[in-house]
């Protein structure tokens, strides 16, 4: 509730909150209906990795 109050009061916050998330972030939240640990491991193994992005260094 407090966040909604702040959004009404602050135009910058309202603009930020209304900005769509990047596609890679949306993809992180997408998960199929899985049953059991084996199905989850298989899904993880088959999924694409998130790209590192520009300027990132591998560790």
pLDDT tens readout for residues 4-58? 888 778 888 888 888 999 998 888 878 788 889 998 888 888 866 655 666 555 5
The pLDDT value given to residue 40: 86
Question: 20, 18, 19, 46: which is closest to 31 by C-alpha?
Answer: 46
What pTM, to 2 d.p., does this model score?
A: 0.36
Separation of alpha carbons 17 and 21, rounded Å = 10
């Amino acid at each position: 509730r407090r966040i909604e109050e702040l959004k009404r009061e602050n135009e910058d916050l309202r603009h930020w909150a209304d900005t769509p998330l990047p596609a890679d972030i949306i993809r992180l939240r997408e998960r199929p209906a899985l049953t059991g640990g084996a199905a989850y491991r298989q899904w993880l193994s088959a999924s694409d990795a998130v790209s590192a992005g520009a300027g990132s260094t591998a560790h």
